Amino acid sequence: MCAERVRLTSRLIDILDKVVEINGKQLYGPPKDNKIRTTIFPVQSPTGYQLAEQLARRVEEAKAEQDADKNPLGLMFSGRGGIYKREHTFYTTTLKPAYRLAGWRDSAGRGAWSLHTLRHVFCTTAFNDWKIDVTDVSVLAGHADTRMTLERYVSSTAGTFERAFEKTRA
């Protein structure tokens, strides 16, 4: 992801492409299902990590690296010489330390959240805490329709029976 695709004032990120590694070879192309989209990031994570503040800091660093020709593409997570990191390198040098810094993993690497579960946390937080409508959450998640969003995130939300109990009391 390039720093120029992060819009700090509106807290939006444009997803225009992806890099995947297959058999040790990096392939650059459009996002999954050719779906170019925009998503939003919260000011802070549900655990209190100051996400917007840290993202703004990294955007400025990436832009300075780009200006100094150390990171020609202005990548948020660049490898040596400003190229895309290999999958394993990205995990060990970027993702793993970020999990620990945010408090999402312990020193042994154990923790509940991963990139995949963060998507689930975002969607369920959008429904339950922020009270965002399903049609809006569906757009933010990049789903083709609300059915997928409802099946994946609403039906699996913890506390279903407790909420129903409270709502149906006489």
Q: Which domain holds residue 9?
A: 1-85
**Residue 91: inside a domain, yes or no?**
no
**Residue 102: inside a domain, yes or no?**
no
Q: What residues have CB less than 8 Å from 50, skipping those under 6 apart?
A: 43, 44
Contact indicator for 65, 71 with CB cutoff of 8 Å: yes
2 and 74 in a single domain? The answer is yes
Model pLDDT, residue 136: 92
CA–CA separation, 150 vs 119, rounded Å? 14
Model pLDDT, residue 62: 95
pLDDT tens, position by position, 15-74 = 899 888 888 888 989 988 888 888 888 898 877 889 899 999 999 999 999 999 999 999
66 and 137 in a single domain? The answer is no
120 and 165 in a single domain? The answer is yes
* Residue at which a domain ends, from 40, 66, 85: 85
In this predicted model, which residue has the larger pLDDT, 90 or 64?
Answer: 64
Model pLDDT, residue 157: 57
**Residue 95: inside a domain, yes or no?**
no
**Residue 118: inside a domain, yes or no?**
yes
2 and 78 in a single domain? The answer is yes
CA–CA separation, 125 vs 40, rounded Å? 13
**Residue 99: inside a domain, yes or no?**
no
Structural domains in the chain (count)? 2
> What's the chain's average pLDDT?
86
CA–CA separation, 134 vs 148, rounded Å? 10
45 and 7 in a single domain? The answer is yes
* Residue at which a domain ends, from 44, 68, 85: 85
Q: What residues have CB less than 8 Å from 99, skipping those under 6 apart?
A: 105, 109, 111, 113
* Residue at which a domain ends, from 64, 85, 106: 85
6 and 75 in a single domain? The answer is yes
**Residue 131: inside a domain, yes or no?**
yes
Whether the pLDDT of residue 90 is over 90: the answer is: no
**Residue 97: inside a domain, yes or no?**
no
- The single-letter DSSP state of residue 31 is P
In this predicted model, which residue has the larger pLDDT, 67 or 87?
Answer: 67
Q: Long-range CB contacts (< 8 A, 24+ apart) of 145-152?
A: 149/123, 152/123
**Residue 108: inside a domain, yes or no?**
no
Q: How far is CA 57 from CA 8, 37, 60, 61, 74, in A?
A: 10, 23, 5, 6, 14
What is the CB neighbour count within 10 angstroms for residue 118? 15
CA–CA separation, 62 vs 123, rounded Å? 28
17 and 69 in a single domain? The answer is yes
